[in-house]
Amino acid sequence: MGARHSVYFQDGPVFLLDVGADARILARYDYGAPAALVACFGAGRVAVTGPHSEASDGWCTDYGLLVHHTLDLARDLVERTARRLLCAWSVPQASCWSSRRSPVSRRPRRS
């Protein structure tokens, strides 16, 4: 289990993944559902997150909340999305996580 963080949250989504989805969960809510993840999309990847790790101090102080500096978490999300291969994960070759492009992302040639 990773480190616990308090992050600004307001009306964020819940992510429901299909069994075997080609996605990597990076953070979970206290109750176990995915809070942030990176998934394959087309020939690349997309990151989605419910909590607002990019929130400035004002987002918290405007509502009388404690300020938690979490910009490092936002930066980590971008870096994990941009990486070509995340070495800590075992991945199938035909996925966006490998160094080879997925055959699904190839476009048919026009005649």
Domain that holds residue 79: 1-87
The reply to whether 102 falls in a domain is no
The reply to whether 7 falls in a domain is yes
The reply to whether 98 falls in a domain is no
The reply to whether 46 falls in a domain is yes
Q: What would the 3-class secondary structure string for the chain be?
A: CCCCCCCCCCCCCCCCCCCCCCEEEEEECCCCCEEEEEEEECCEEEEEECCCCCCCHHHHHCCCCCCCCCHHHHHHHHHHHHCCCCCCCCCCCCCCCCCCCCHHHCCCCCC
The reply to whether 105 falls in a domain is no
For residue 21, the model assigns a pLDDT of 84
The reply to whether 92 falls in a domain is no
For residue 2, the model assigns a pLDDT of 67
- Please tell me the total count of domains within the chain: 1
Ordered per-residue pLDDT tens for the chain, 111 residues: 567 766 666 778 888 888 888 888 888 888 888 888 888 877 778 888 887 777 677 776 777 777 666 667 767 767 777 765 444 344 444 455 554 433 333 344 444
The reply to whether 96 falls in a domain is no
